[in-house]
Chains A and B, each alone.
Chain A
Amino acid sequence: MRKKGAQRERILHLLEEEGGVTEDAVRRISAETGVPEADIWGTGLFYTLISKPGKRVRVCDGLSCRIKGADELFERLAEQGKECERVSCLGQCDRAPATLDENLEQVCYGGVERGVMPDDPSLPMNLGGPRVDSYASLEKAKEIGSDAVIAEIEAAGLQGRGGAAFPAHIKWKGVRGQAETERYVICNADEAEPGTFKDREIILRQPHLLLEGLAIAAHAVGAKNVAIYIRGEFTSERRMIEKAIEEAGDKISDLDWKIYNGHGAYICGEETALIESMEGKRGMPRLKPPYPTEYGFRGKPTLMHNVETAACVPAIVERGGEWFKGLGRSEPGTKLYCVSGHVNRPGVYELPLGVTLDELVEVAGGYDGTPVAFSPGGPSSGFLPISARDVPLDFKSLANAGSMLGSAGLVVLNDTVDMVMATKWQLDFFERESCGQCAPCRIGTRYLRRQVDSFLADGDPDSLEFAGDVGWEMEEGSICGLGMVAAKPLESAMKHFPEVFEERSSE
């Protein structure tokens, strides 16, 4: 049942204030809100940041951190007597191995220089440049009106930067055309695809571009409320957004701004799971249709965009859709590429959409060692062999190559990495982050991880006999995108690196 209610929306925040799920906390919150105890208990236990009370150090489990010594770091910290926990990617891949201290503040053990493009005013987001906070594009958008703004977005060919590449203007028109006038704009800042840390850099370096883009969108679709859902591990990023809203003051105060914390669940990056989470529920994706443009937050029309998508909007309004489109090579616009792993200067680089891996890595200081594989868009994109280095890094070309650009969190692996082990790490991630709602994903992610574990233990190829069938079913039968792609790491590794699996079998 789609339950709504202002009280229900408060429970995750209250659990966070209580320091996590305990019987006493649940009883108090139930008394205060009238939400049944069981619902609070079950909802709280969905989210890793609040499911276990108490404070501890969190060590990243992402691929980039694993290959940069996260396992050793974990042991070292544990030996120092610190209570430690392995967690899914913290979005700090350029500073691998990444950790959060007991108060969710980032602690850097990697000591790597943070790579970013040098100042170039011709770039739409120009993360290396001075902070842009004039809100001139917002003024212009108000002058030219909604139709003209949406026409520019359409001309720009702006595709959703969260990973799905859905044309932005279709969503804008969809929300604007609804009969219901209570509408919402939501910014998806739940950046959690392993290998991805571009939204983090936008928030830290150009927070006003984000706010301005969201404000333009809100005015264009007729929404009064803007919500930013930011992953709970992004503590300093949240502070930056709060500060930016304060700094912007009157320029955006005609809208109602609200920040929602994530509580430790990768799946909440899926738009309907994110909405469920905002409504104080377990972050389990909804069946679609209806889509959020029609039935979103609180059942109202909702426009949801990734941070980067929104941050592209001011430049498009200022300089025109055609200009933005022309910046791309094989697809429209520039793109923030995150690159980490075996490259010399990991970071976020704004380049024309459709550059090749070699071009990207050149900007990032070159390869570290002899590259053998890369993952173009997090574990969801699987692995590609280095022979695919000439494939344009855009949505369509990578899809044709059996992979995907996704959130453009590229991880490069050199010949020191055991591809079977890397596969297992990626499968670990999906098993841990599956919401558990539908059987293909809940059981399939665990099945595949266990079979690869078994193969790693004894090299018996029979362990992987049915992996293809299970992967096929996960893609066909899962409710949401997580389950659909969760078999990709194994499927692609077996396809592109059969010799690695054969070697292990014959040992």
Chain B
Amino acid sequence: MSSNRFDIEINGKACSAEKGETVFEVAAREGINIPTLCHDTRLEPAGACRVCLVEVEGQRRLEPGCAWKVSEGMKITTESDRIERHRKVLYGLYLADHELDSEGLPVETGNGNQLRELAMKTEPLALHPVEAPRAGRPADENPYIRFEPDLCILCARCTRYCDEVEAVNAITLANRGSQTTIATAGMRGLLDTTCELCGGCIDTCPTGALVEKKSPDPLPADARKVRTTCNFCGVGCQLDLHVVGTNGTSRVAKVTSPPPGETVNDGNLCIKGRFAYDFIHHEDRITEPLIRGEDGELHPATWEEAIAAAAEGLGKVKEKYGADALGFVSSSRCTGEENYLMQKISRAVYGTNNIHQCSAT
């Protein structure tokens, strides 16, 4: 086993590494920053953005840290004049192919823009725009996901995510060279594809080329994240609610997943968890128990009163028609424990086997 663990050197520092790891993984553990745009820990390394190129002793060319496998005694350099020049020109090329703001920086978006952050750290070469003929899908009427071709760097994180993580394959790289774009079959709107509108493509996009239609712009500076558990089903995905405004007027403006590797959902969400948050502030939302009175209207009540009213009503049915006149259906939004309790009420309290769960059909 010992031969699987060995030391490598990064910028002169000895780092413990394991066979099969990449330079990027070892560096990250050691707190050494190797910038990247196309890497996502949930995906196979693509080595396509070229931002993470490092010097590997003995190799003539710069090599991608995200994909380069470590071996014993390997010597890596992540900062040098050569790498600095590489970054300046590479970022310059990216900027020549990107929508810029009035200061000449990649535009900020509601989904961030990591290229902007890189460009602020290393002054890119000022190159003329290349005006790449990259097609978008402006007529796509899906309600959630928007693709901005002028912000796309073709790192293919979205298409790889759709394939490798979701196995949905709704989007693809299409065309070639400078015409390469993110497409659907027939350039149809996402609603007419296999897309499940999970929005994972937005989540993985590093430059805001994919944004939420409901939240396309950067949130105000005082926006804060509130961690919660999604209640649409029993999986227990963690959500970060992006809350804007102060007490009383605060609203959820966007929902994202915690980063990959931190919670049970590993950075992923479904259409409901990510996009179906409008109910939170809906005027018709019921926020307290209601009991229908003799007058036929619903009246606010306490939980104790409501539960007592339900128990009484169920008891009367059983008394009059027998236990099997009752049936219990629990919601797919319940957890396993809640479903268990529901069948306990059905069988042990009321004495009927008429128990069902809505997602069991």
Output the least CB separation between B145 and chain A (Å).
14
Task: Chain B residues near A434: list those with CB within 8 A.
Answer: 176-178
Taken together as a complex, chains A and B put the C-alpha atoms of A469 and B173 apart, in Å, by 28
**What separation, in Å, do the CA atoms of A275 and B297 have in the docked complex?**
71
Measured CB to CB, the closest approach of chain A to B181, in angstroms, equals 9
Are A439 and B93 within 8 A (Cβ)?
A: yes
Q: How far is the CA of A447 from the CA of B125 in the complex (A)?
A: 13
Q: How far is the CA of A463 from the CA of B128 in the complex (A)?
A: 9
| Residue among A2, A440, A447, A469 with the highest chain B CB neighbour number at 10 A | A447
Does B77 belong to the interface (CB within 8 Å)?
no
Bound complex: CA of A432 vs CA of B184, how far in Å?
22
What is the distance, in angstroms, from A80's C-beta to the closest C-beta of chain B? 29
Q: Is B302 an interface residue (CB 8 A)?
A: no
Contact A41 B186 (CB under 8 A): yes
Taking CB atoms, residues of chain B closer than 8 Å to A36 are: 169-170, 194
CA–CA, A432 to B88, complex, Å? 25
Q: A41, B183: Cβ atoms under 8 Å?
A: yes
Q: In the complex the two chains form, what is the Cα distance from A242 to B44 in whole Å?
A: 39
Q: Whole-angstrom distance between the alpha carbons of A446 and B173 in the complex?
A: 19
Distance (Å) between the CB of B196 and the closest chain A CB?
13
> Is the pair B50, A439 in contact by a Cβ cutoff of 8 Å?
yes
Stretch at the interface among B59-67, B263-271, B344-352: B59-67
Between-chain CB contacts (< 8 Å), 22 pairs: A1-B164, A23-B186, A26-B185, A27-B185, A38-B170, A39-B172, A41-B185, A42-B172, A42-B183, A45-B176, A45-B183, A46-B176, A434-B177, A436-B179, A436-B180, A438-B47, A438-B50, A446-B177, A447-B127, A451-B128, A470-B125, A479-B50
A10-61 contacts to B, CB under 8 A, are 23, 26-27, 30, 36-43, 45-46, 48, 51
Q: Which of B44, B128, B131, B178 contacts A442 (CB 8 A)?
A: B178
Asked if A442 and B177 make an inter-chain contact with CB atoms under 8 angstroms apart, the answer reads: yes
**Contacting residues of chain B (99-139) with chain A, CB-CB under 8 angstroms:** 125, 127-128, 130-132
Q: Are A473 and B93 in contact, CB atoms less than 8 angstroms apart?
A: yes
- Report whether B160 and A1 are in contact in the complex, using a CB–CB cutoff of 8 Å: yes
Q: Given A1-B164, A447-B127, A470 and B93 touching (CB < 8 A)?
A: yes
A443 and B96 within 8 A (CB): yes
> In the complex, A433 Cα to B177 Cα: how many Å?
7
Q: Is A437 an interface residue (CB 8 A)?
A: yes
Say whether, besides A38-B193, A446-B178, A470 and B186 are in contact (CB < 8 Å).
no
B169 partner residues in chain A, CB cutoff 8 A: 36, 38-39
Chain A 319-345 interface 0/1 with B at a Cβ cutoff of 8 Å (1 = within): 000000000000000000000000000
Chain A residue nearest to B53 in the complex (CB): A477
Shortest beta-carbon distance from B36 to chain A in Å = 12
CB distance from A159 to the nearest CB of B (A): 18
Instruction: Give a binary string over A427-459; 1 marks a CB under 8 Å from any B CB, 0 the rest.
Output: 000011111111110111111001100100000
A439 to B170, CA, bound (A): 24
* Interface pair B171/A38, CB less than 8 Å apart: yes
Residues in B neighbouring A435, C-beta threshold 8 A: 176-177
B233 within 8 A of A: no
Any B CB within 8 A of the CB of A109: no
Q: Is B85 an interface residue (CB 8 A)?
A: yes
Give complex CA distance A30, B50 in Å.
33
Residue in chain A with minimal CB distance to B132? A446
Chain B residues in 8 Å Cβ range of A37: 185-186, 193-194
The reply to whether B163 and A1 contact each other, CB–CB distance below 8 Å, is yes
Complex: A477 Cα to B61 Cα, angstroms = 8
The CA-CA distance from A445 to B93 in the complex, in Å, is 10
Residues of A within 8 A of B (CB): 1-2, 23, 26-27, 30, 36-43, 45-46, 48, 51, 265, 282, 287, 431-440, 442-447, 450-451, 454, 463, 466, 469-470, 472-473, 476-479
> How far apart are the CA atoms of A38 and B330 in the complex, in Å?
38
Q: Which residues from chain B contact A463 at a C-beta distance below 8 Å? A: 128
Residue of A nearest to B62 (CB): A476
* B175 touching A46, Cβ below 8 Å: yes
With a cutoff of 8 Å between Cβ atoms, the chain B residues found around residue A479 in the complex are 47-48, 50
User: Chain B residues with Cβ under 8 A from A38's Cβ?
Assistant: 169-172, 183-185, 193-194
B residues near A, CB below 8 A? Answer: 44-45, 47-50, 53, 61-62, 64, 67, 82, 85-86, 88-90, 92-94, 96-97, 125, 127-128, 130-132, 153-154, 159-160, 163-164, 169-180, 183-186, 193-194
A440 to B89, CA, bound (A): 9
Shortest CB-to-CB span from B85 to chain A, Å, is: 7
A70→B127 CA distance, assembly (Å): 33
Bound form: Cα–Cα A479–B63 in Å: 9
Tell me if A431 and B177 are in contact (CB < 8 A). yes
Q: CA–CA, A472 to B81, complex, Å?
A: 14
Is A436's CB under 8 angstroms from B177's CB?
yes
Query: Closest CB of chain A to B244's CB: distance in Å?
Result: 35
A23 CA to B184 CA, complexed, in Å: 11
What's the minimum C-beta distance from A167 to chain B, rounded to whole angstroms? 17
Residue from B64, B88, B93, B97 with most neighbouring chain A CB atoms (10 Å): B93
Tell me if B176 and A436 are in contact (CB < 8 A): yes
Contact A265/B176 with A23-B185, A38-B183, A38-B193 known, Cβ cut-off 8 Å: yes
Complex interface: chain A residues within 8 A of B159 (CB): 42
Contacting pair A477 B185 (CB below 8 A): no
CB-CB under 8 A from A41, the residues of chain B are: 172, 174, 183-186
A446 and B180 alpha carbons, distance in the complex (Å): 12
Which of chain B's residues have a CB closer than 8 A to the CB of A26? 185-186
Across the interface, do B184 and A447 meet the contact criterion of CB distance under 8 Å?
A: no
Give complex CA distance A256, B159 in Å: 36
Q: How far is the CB of A480 from chain B (nearest CB, A)?
A: 11
Q: Which residues of A contact B160 (CB under 8 A)?
A: 1
Q: Are A440 and B174 in contact (CB under 8 A)?
A: no
Which of A43, A444, A478 has the most chain B CB atoms closer than 10 A to its own CB? A444
Q: How far is the CA of A43 from the CA of B177 in the complex (A)?
A: 13
Residues on the B chain within 8 Å of A43, using CB:
172
Query: CA of A469 to CA of B84 in the docked complex: distance in angstroms?
Result: 12
Specify which chain A residues have a CB less than 8 angstroms from the CB of B92 in the assembled complex: 466, 469-470
User: B185 — which chain A residues lie within 8 A by C-beta?
Assistant: 23, 26-27, 30, 37-38, 40-41
Inter-subunit contact B48/A450 (CB<8 Å): no
Least CB separation from B162: chain A residue: A38
B170 — nearest CB in chain A belongs to which residue? Answer: A38
**Nearest residue in A to B160 (C-beta to C-beta)?**
A1
Q: Could you tell me the distance between the alpha carbons of A446 and B130 in the complex, rounded to whole angstroms?
A: 7
For B184, what are the chain A residues with a Cβ–Cβ distance below 8 Å? 38, 41
Question: A469 contacts B125, CB within 8 Å?
Answer: yes
